[in-house]
Amino acid sequence: MSQAQFAYDAPGNDAAGLPLTLSIFADRPHLRDEMREDARAAGFRVTQAADAASLLEGAARPLGDVVLIDCPAVGGAMLAALARLDLRAANTGAQLVVSTSVAALDDVFACMDQSGPQLLVDPTRAERVIALGRVLAQVSRLRLRELGEEDRLMLLRLTEQVARLAERLDHLGPARSTAACGPDGAARLEAPRRDFVPQPADEGGADRLARATRPPLPDSRLLRRIIRQRQLRARFFDGGLFADPAWDMLLDLAAARAEHKRVSVTSLCIASGVPPTTALRWIGQLTAAGLVQRAEDDTDRRRAFIILTEPAADAMARYFAELGPAGAQLV
């Protein structure tokens, strides 16, 4: 067992009636202490806190319901350990929250494709707490039927408690995160958007006919020009006034598809024009909406890309066809 391993079982924890256990793996001692403090304040029961290298010791150690991991730099052994943890979490239902750096994002994203982890990039303390709030919301959805009324109310109180904690931490931090806060400055938890719901295909012939008559995507040069024009606004105005990361990412993916290129998750985060952690949250929402999907690299399993789904490509093509040549200049 790693020398940095500690065990915690806080008496009087708010989640005592609904035991949500949490494991922490982080190399930086001050960060481990900070994550433990915030997790306990959010109502979790911290059962272990260890250095990230402890993940390399095998699968014998029990996991918590939630696992917080900080790995700003990763080597081959750590990536293998993360991949094993990802598979184990998918099999057990554990919720993973993994913070990393921009430099390591593509590698971490590629090796964790089973459990649907929350990925954070150089997160603030408030962003970590908001991620814990999403875990609580996810647990409440998954366990709704098996929970009694008292436990449901407890989860609701814990979720509200996490939101208040995140708001306090955000006020103390060096900068406000508009992605994590509503217009009134209060921290909020965002549910996946469901604006676009792909329709099931008709039986056989109708679906093939629709695909056969689908207009092509516009020329990639037009799409790139639209992207540059949208980015130009940030030179003259506060970029946050025009933040539209979902559309910026769809434009970038459409241009890449027209160019027969593939887009890494890091590149797509840059194209979004918002901080990487916020961009990752949007990628998750676009995935949930059926607009984008993960695509493995056939030649290198350590790499993965983001692509438009067929329904999304169809919608983009029809949208630009409806606009026509003149309207496309105004997007």
Amino acid 239: pLDDT: 73
Amino acid 208: pLDDT: 46
The tokens for 138 are 């996810």
Specify the DSSP class assigned to residue 329: T
How many other C-beta atoms can be found within 10 angstroms of the C-beta atom of residue 77? 11
Please give the single-letter amino acid code of residue 52: A
Beta-bridge partner residues of 181 = 187
Q: Give the separation between CA 283 and CA 94, rounded to whole angstroms.
A: 21
Residue corresponding to tokens 């919301």? 137
Q: Check residues 301 and 208 and name the one with the higher pLDDT.
A: 301
Q: Give the separation between CA 289 and CA 196, rounded to whole angstroms.
A: 6
Q: How confident is the model at residue 60 (pLDDT cuts 50, 70, 90)?
A: low
Q: Give the separation between CA 224 and CA 229, rounded to whole angstroms.
A: 9
Q: Give the separation between CA 88 and CA 112, rounded to whole angstroms.
A: 11
**pLDDT tens readout for residues 247-292:** 999 999 999 999 999 999 999 999 998 899 999 999 999 999 999 9
φ/ψ bin of 175: left (φ > 0), alpha (ψ from -120 to 50), beta (otherwise): beta
Specify the DSSP class assigned to residue 211: H
Q: How confident is the model at residue 52 (pLDDT cuts 50, 70, 90)?
A: confident
DSSP 12-63: T-TTTTS--EEEEEES-HHHHHHHHHHHHHTT-EEEEEE-GGGGGG-S-SPP
Q: Give the separation between CA 175 and CA 157, rounded to whole angstroms.
A: 27
- Expressed in angstroms, the distance from the first to the final Cα of the chain is 57
Q: Give the separation between CA 94 and CA 74, rounded to whole angstroms.
A: 22
Q: Count how many residues are written for the chain.
A: 331
pTM of the full predicted structure?
A: 0.72
Q: What are phi and psi of 181, to 5 degrees?
A: -125, 150
Amino acid 211: pLDDT: 52
Please give the single-letter amino acid code of residue 261: K
The tokens for 131 are 């991620």
**Domains of the chain by start residue, with CATH:** 21-172 (3.40.50.2300), 205-328 (1.10.10.10)
Q: Mapping DSSP to helix (H, G, I), strand (E, B) and coil, where does residue 7 land?
A: coil
Q: How confident is the model at residue 303 (pLDDT cuts 50, 70, 90)?
A: confident
Specify the DSSP class assigned to residue 199: P
Please give the single-letter amino acid code of residue 310: E
DSSP 259-313: TT--B-HHHHHHHHTS-HHHHHHHHHHHHHTTSEEEEE-TT-TT-EEEEE-HHHH
Amino acid 138: pLDDT: 72
Please give the single-letter amino acid code of residue 194: R
Output the average pLDDT for the chain: 76
